[in-house]
Amino acid sequence: MTLAGYGLRRAGVGLLQILAVATLVFAFLEALPGDAAVAAAGDDPDPARIAALRQQFGLDRPVWQRYGDWLGGLVTGDLGASLRSGRPVVSLLGTAAGPTTVLALVTLAVLVPLTVALGVCAAVRAGGWFDRAVSSTTVALHCVPEFALAVLLIAVFALWLGLLPATAVGGGLLEDPALLVLPVVVLLARSAAAPVRTLRGAMIDALASDYVAHARRHGLPRWRVLLGHALPNAAAPAVQQLARTVDWLVGGIIVVEAIFAIPGLSAVLVEAVAARDVPVVQGVTVMVAAVAVLANLTADVIAFRLAPRAGVA
Amino acid sequence: MSSVTTSRRRLLTGLAGAALLAGCGSGATSAPGATPDATASPRRGGRLRAAFQTAGAKETLDPHAANLFVDGARSKALYDKLADFGADMSVQPRLAERFEPNADATRWRVTLRQADFHDGRPVTAEDVLASYARIMADPANRRAAIQLAAIDLGACRAVDGRTIEFVLKTASAEFPSATAAFGTWIVPRDATDFTRPVGSGPFRFSSFEPGKPLLLTRFDGYWDQPAWLDEVEFIPVNEETARVNALVGGQIDYAHDLATTSARTYAADARVRIVRAPGSAMHAFAMKLDRPPFDKPEVRAAFRLIADRQELVNTVLSGMGEVGNDLFGKGYQYYADLPQRTPDLDRAKALLRQAGAEGLKVQLQTAHAGAGLVDAATIFAEQARKAGVAVEVSMGNKDTFWRDTLTGGSMASYRSGSMPIHSHIATRLLTTSPQNVTRWGSAEFDGLYQKAQASVDEAARTAVYRDMQTQLHERCGLLVWGFADWIVGTSSKVHGVGQAPPNTLDWARFERVWLA
């Protein structure tokens, strides 16, 4: 199969996946007790007021009609407007996605080289003390829930030692990189284990392979054998694992944003769910699904390029 | 594909629930919030960074759309009302200099003081009438509309630039308190766009984007004493733990709405100051009078004797509050100080026997719709067991809880923010009240309320309110077990923060705050 054909087919499947997710979330939101009008009325649940709000939000229209309108908008790139504020969902997400994107990209920018360094070094002396230390540390950190780790790190490094900011309050993430340290550490701690272990395993296999033995016999320098021959072959499964880590990161970031008061998608999503603001929840969902699909697609394409013989998951 | 797991979602929605305590009704505190550090002399300058829970991207600076505490705090910095509430919910005139009723309290002449908007125009009678008309035009979205509902807008007129004659549809001796209600802020008559709002408050607009901080600067032409601070910045921090961490870590100077656990943890910490405002939130259980088992007065009386209020205050509120006596508004103007009810299990059992309700089973509805609701329900269920009553705690959905319990079930967790006692009666205890959760109400009780409203004599009104509260104390459906303190935290350099319940004059009154 050609790369282009493969990519197109995967993209088509991805679009269907996004649509399926959006439809499911719409159905779940419908199934939740109460609607945006009840949530807006809050502790002043005068039935007349709820009825007026329902009409104002267009919730008196049948469910299939609301879903159809939303779907029609989606096709033309219009995600609708928030029921509560009337703001277009696209502009709302545009504002909130900034900090979330920064957090995700910085985490990945550290995670990729970290994975390569730890995975390769652990594989070179598999079973040695470094390998065992990396394995036990990454697995142990993976087992700590992100909110627990965050609370611990804040208590020690911010409130006790005063070395780092306790939250991201009062500054831009890019203007003040110190704000990013603890959130990124928490995200890395949880996400490093799987890619590191995948790369280590693949590297061990690669180093034991015939082509590496061949390259060694030709007297190539050790680093060229490692990085030029073994790593590209071993990287394919690790890249795909990394894509799954991106899926996970989206969820992890939601927790981390809440704890560190980062004004990203987390706050928007939590509030929108509580307010039953369906278009906003749908918008976040489509965006998250698109990122996940895109990350996996990219990873698969890279893996396809790196090791066409290995086939594609 | 979203990898938000169930447990994460549960954690976060729980957190969000704590954050969405609406600015209930018209709270107000006025007694010049006694500050512990009144001896130090105020200093001008600086920026106060104040963290509140906000509504994120859906928020607006339109004061008439205000709903949350942060909306109230921002609005009071930018705008003024005709009046505000003291800590005891008595009316404190603000933009209004005086309120003068006619003999039966159906017409009120209000004289405005001389005050200017931030753009230099004076605040006039026309602005007041236009603001009220704007509020009343959209009752579904403007909380204050119900407070102003008695006004016959078409008949009101501006007598001159600073005098308004209000004509009411029904007598209302408490009309001034309607002008102090949450959401009744005065805006310029032609205001339609609130992206760069203009008010007459102590601070003027500087910059804002929904979901991001709001920066305000001092308005030197303020009619009252101008602010000490150069600037105040409202920062959205929705998680309580994040607000505490940011405060202790020195990233903010004022953290609104802290949990009792945080207050306890940092009570002795030199970096922060914990400010508690007593009498801020009523905690109760609502029993519905129109259905079994609470249609029998003996059962209601028995439940009131089962409740160990001190234990509830000690555990649910960590002692940061005081016991209730089945009446709303302890410490407020018009509160009837009747003998305090204490637990009496023997008498409770006897009453249940008398009502033929031995071995009673009751479902108590609760939800994480506010701090302490679920804890209180659980503890009360334990207390009831000792009297042989099986109270089963039933968890509801936090986002729809108030709607669900308004009509459904027979007993539910209940709480209320501060408001004047007559507002509590009007919105919850009359046969016509839209939020009559206990189904209390009778023509006789309605008649007493109307009698009070038609009486411009405060002593006469006080006597009528006392009669009404005596009836409520004996027979009503609210088991008011306590009043929680409202807790804010400040850094140690912040002075002048009043100990006032939310949505009262001295609450979040940042023009009186200064930085050492």
A14 to chain B, minimum CA–CA distance in Å? 11
Residue type, B18: A
Contact B22 A42 (CB under 8 A): yes
Q: How far apart are CA A92 and CA A253, in angstroms?
A: 18
CA nearest to B240 within chain A: A259
CA nearest to A82 within chain B: B58
Mean pLDDT taken over chain A: 87
Interface test with A, best of B1, B52, B235, B240 (most A CBs within 10 A): B1
Looking at per-residue confidence, does B55 or A65 come out higher? A65
CA distances from A68 to A72, A245, B65, B463 (A): 6, 33, 31, 61
Model confidence at A13: pLDDT above 50: yes
B293 to chain A, minimum CA–CA distance in Å? 24
Q: What is the mean pLDDT of residues B18-32?
A: 35
Q: A residues 104-143 near B, CB within 8 Å?
A: none
pLDDT grade for B32, boundaries at 50, 70 and 90: very low
Mean pLDDT taken over chain B: 90
Number of Cβ within 10 Å of residue A82's Cβ equals 25
Q: What is the mean pLDDT of residues B126-130?
A: 98
Contact A44 B252 (CB under 8 A): no
Contact B242 A260 (CB under 8 A): yes
Q: Which of B81, B43, B23, B68 is nearest to B201 (CA)?
A: B81
Interface test with B, best of A265, A271, A276 (most B CBs within 10 A): A271
Contact B57 A254 (CB under 8 A): no
CB of A38 closer than 8 Å to CB of A276: yes
pTM (two decimals): 0.87
Number of Cβ within 10 Å of residue A297's Cβ equals 17
A11 to chain B, minimum CA–CA distance in Å? 15
CA B262 to centroid of chain Cα atoms: 22
A214 to chain B, minimum CA–CA distance in Å? 42
Q: A residues 139-168 near B, CB within 8 Å?
A: 147, 151, 154, 158-159, 162, 165-167
Contact A167 B236 (CB under 8 A): no
CA nearest to B3 within chain A: A251
Q: Which of B211, B404, B435 sits opposite A96 (nearest CB)?
A: B211
Model confidence at B152: pLDDT above 70: yes
Q: How far apart are CA B252 and CA B254, in angstroms?
A: 6
pLDDT at residue A146, rounded to an integer: 86
| Chain A residues inside the 8 Å CB shell of B239 | 258-259, 261
Cis peptide upstream of residue B42 (ω within 30 degrees of 0): no
pLDDT grade for A188, boundaries at 50, 70 and 90: very high
B16 touches chain A (CB under 8 A): yes
Q: Which two tokens stand for residue A181?
A: 């340290």
Contact A52 B2 (CB under 8 A): no
Interface test with A, best of B235, B262, B400 (most A CBs within 10 A): B400
A97 touches chain B (CB under 8 A): no
Model confidence at B29: pLDDT above 50: no
Model confidence at B26: pLDDT above 50: no
Model confidence at B20: pLDDT above 60: no
Domains of chain B (ranges; CATH) run 2-15+279-485 (3.10.105.10), 38-59+69-76+201-271+492-516 (3.40.190.10)
B435 to chain A, minimum CA–CA distance in Å? 6
pLDDT tens readout for residues A93-134: 888 888 999 999 999 999 999 999 999 999 988 888 999 999
| Chain B residues inside the 8 Å CB shell of A92 | 57
pLDDT at residue B39, rounded to an integer: 57
pLDDT grade for A173, boundaries at 50, 70 and 90: confident
Q: Which of B340, B301, B358, B238 is nearest to B478 (CA)?
A: B301
pLDDT tens readout for residues B355-405: 999 889 999 999 999 889 999 999 999 999 999 999 999 999 988 999 999
* DSSP per residue, chain A: --HHHHHHHHHHHHHHHHHHHHHHHHHHHHHSSS-HHHHHHTT---HHHHHHHHHHTTTTS-HHHHHHHHHHHHHTT---B-TTT--BHHHHHHHHHHHHHHHHHHHHHHHHHHHHHHHHHHHHTTTSHHHHHHHHHHHHHHTS-HHHHHHHHIIIIIIIS--S-SS-TTS-TTT-THHHHHHHHHHHHHHSHHHHHHHHHHHHHHHTSHHHHHHHHTT--HHHIIIIIIHHHHHHHHHHHHHHHHHHHHHHHHHHHHHHT--SHHHHHHHHHHTT-HHHHHHHHHHHHHHHHHHHHHHHHHHHHH-GGG---
| Chain A residues inside the 8 Å CB shell of B406 | 45
A57 touches chain B (CB under 8 A): no
Kindly state the percentage of chain B with pLDDT values over 90: 85
Residues 6+ apart with CB under 8 A from A283: A79, A80, A89, A90, A92, A93
| Chain A residues inside the 8 Å CB shell of B434 | 44, 46-49
CA nearest to A294 within chain B: B1
User: Residue for token digits 């600015």?
Assistant: B23
Contact B238 A293 (CB under 8 A): no
Q: Which of A43, A158, A255 sits opposite B8 (nearest CB)?
A: A255
Looking at per-residue confidence, does A274 or B92 come out higher? B92
Model confidence at A295: pLDDT above 50: yes
Looking at per-residue confidence, does A301 or B507 come out higher? B507
pLDDT grade for A230, boundaries at 50, 70 and 90: confident
Q: Which of helix, strand or coil describes residue B30?
A: coil
Least confident of A208-222, B235-249, B358-372, B471-485: A208-222
Contact B249 A166 (CB under 8 A): yes
Q: B residues 175-214 near A, CB within 8 Å?
A: 209-213
pLDDT at residue A306, rounded to an integer: 76
Q: What is the mean pLDDT of residues B400-424?
A: 94
| Chain A residues inside the 8 Å CB shell of B12 | 254-255, 258, 266, 270
Contact A271 B56 (CB under 8 A): yes
Model confidence at B492: pLDDT above 60: yes
